[in-house]
Amino acid sequence: MDLNIQTSNAKEVFDKLYEAGNEKSKEKIGGNIQWLRMDDKKSSYVSLETKGDYHDRNDWQRQFEWLYETTVKFLKFFKPLIKNVK
């Protein structure tokens, strides 16, 4: 799951989101969330991963549940933060 920040001022937006949400995101979304400013690139990311093999149909239910739950967490957490970034 990624939040991809691709704007002309991506680093400024990332910095504001990081300042406002880095610590809380670990609590609300997951402790292994990664904030990737990527100074050598135009865009920045906030990313959360899980292990899984999409070829393993026996694990699909868990994978889909993780994707759904994580998407909801990202939306609930980042939507208000993004609205406040100016």
Look-up: residue for tokens 């995101």? Answer: 25
pLDDT score, position 37: 97
Quote the number of domains for the chain. 1
Q: How confident is the model at residue 85 (pLDDT cuts 50, 70, 90)?
A: confident
Distance in angstroms (rounded) separating the CA atoms of residues 52 and 9: 34
Q: Rounded to two decimals, what is the model's pTM?
A: 0.86
Q: pLDDT tens-digit profile of 6-58?
A: 999 999 999 999 999 999 999 999 889 999 999 999 999 999 999 999 999 99
Give Cβ neighbours of residue 27 (< 8 Å, ≥ 6 apart): none
Domain region containing 78: 2-84
- Residue 63 pLDDT > 80, yes or no? yes
pLDDT score, position 27: 94
pLDDT score, position 22: 95
Q: Does residue 22 contact residue 35 with C-beta atoms inside 8 Å?
A: yes
Q: Does residue 46 contact residue 25 with C-beta atoms inside 8 Å?
A: yes
pLDDT score, position 31: 82
Crossing angle (nearest 10°) for helices 60-84 and 10-28: 130
